[in-house]
Amino acid sequence: MDKKFELLMTVSESINYLLAKAEEISTYFAEGRDSDASNHIGVFIDDLSLTIKAINLTENVQKEKIDTSEINEVLNSMVEAFENSDFILLGDLFQYELSPILQKWNDKISMNTFN
């Protein structure tokens, strides 16, 4: 099997992990556990960055192209919310903006690997 295709399959596992972490972070914010949520954001962003790099590396084996740039606006909104200490908005961005994008990427990966 082509290494890029294998990497693409591994990305799906990474996205599932990110989805679980996004839900966890969102829940922490909803519960008012802002410091717990904030402690997880750095690792989340690092993992997200690696996932995006892997997706971009596999571009030539993707039947259904994944546009990773669509997440930039959400990330910019997250930075602004964090700078303004708007933790409710930050939790909502994780749950209602970021997670659906990650799920869409995972759906496209499924279409790429199983079709």
pLDDT digits (tens, 9 = 90+) for 31-54: 999 999 999 999 999 999 999 999
Is 0.75 surpassed by the pTM of this model? Answer: yes
pLDDT of residue 115: 55
Q: What is the 3-state secondary structure (H, E, C) of the chain?
A: CCHHHHHHHHHHHHHHHHHHHHHHHHHHHHCCCHHHHHHHHHHHHHHHHHHHHHHHHCHHHCCCCCCHHHHHHHHHHHHHHHHCCCHHHHHHHHHHHHHHHHHHHHHHHHHHHHC
